[in-house]
């Protein structure tokens, strides 16, 4: 049987409430978004690791849709050394600030959609 795709593996971890990422020994660092080949080196030496789920807001913006409530979109610098786009929940979108410490949690999607990672302020999570 062929191995699961990197995306399928990533989603399987999210279903277990784990924030998984890949690590490339040849590049000497974390790799995110999941892929088959390591960037910069082109080697297939990627290992799956589980993040502790803590990070810092690098950038944030508030989206004001024509319909519905405003929400934020944020770039999160995860402590293991990768940056990802997500959102911060359990706080007003305008209160999300650069430098805010955040903690990962899985947002369970509805229907056939896969779960996805979101963050909450670290001092109020877990």
98 lies in a domain? yes
Please report, to the nearest 10 degrees, the dihedral formed by the alpha carbons of residues 32, 18, 1, 47 taken in order: 50
Instruction: Report the pLDDT value the prediction gives residue 124, as an integer from 0 to 100.
Output: 54
Which of the four pLDDT bands, split at 50, 70 and 90, describes residue 125? very low
Give the bridge partners for 71, in sequence order.
63
Inside any domain, residue 78: yes
Domains in the chain: how many in total? Answer: 1
Banded pLDDT at 3 (limits 50, 70, 90) = low
**Per-residue tokens: 34:** 């999941």
User: Would you say residue 61 lies in a domain?
Assistant: yes
Give the whole-angstrom CA distance, residue 37 versus residue 113. Answer: 26
pLDDT for the residue numbered 117 = 95
- Residue 96 tokens, joined: 């999300």
Asked if residue 1 belongs to a domain, the reply is no
* Domain containing residue 101: 6-124
Task: Please say if the pLDDT value at position 126 is more than 80.
Answer: no
pLDDT tens for each residue of 20-35 = 999 999 989 999 999 9
pLDDT value of residue 110: 82
**Residue 21 counted as domain residue:** yes
* CATH number of the domain enclosing 111: 2.40.50.840
Angle, CA 2 vertex, CA 41 and CA 117 arms, to 5°: 65
Asked if the structure places residue 102 within a domain, the reply is yes
Q: What digits encode the pLDDT tens for the residues 93-113?
A: 999 999 999 999 999 888 888
DSSP 68: S
Q: Where are the alpha helices (DSSP H) in 2-126?
A: 6-15
């Amino acid at each position: 049987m062929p191995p699961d795709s990197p995306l399928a593996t990533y989603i399987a971890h999210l279903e277990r409430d784990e924030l998984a990422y890949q690590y490339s020994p040849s590049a000497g660092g974390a790799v995110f978004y999941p892929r088959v080949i390591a960037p910069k080196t082109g080697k297939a030496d990627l290992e799956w690791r589980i993040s502790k789920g803590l990070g810092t807001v690098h950038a944030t913006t508030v989206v004001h849709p024509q319909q519905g409530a405003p929400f934020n979109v944020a770039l999160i610098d995860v402590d293991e050394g990768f940056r990802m786009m997500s959102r911060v929940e359990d706080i007003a979108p305008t209160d999300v600030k650069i430098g805010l410490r955040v903690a990962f949690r899985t947002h369970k999607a509805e229907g056939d959609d896969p779960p996805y990672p979101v963050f909450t302020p670290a001092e109020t999570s877990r």
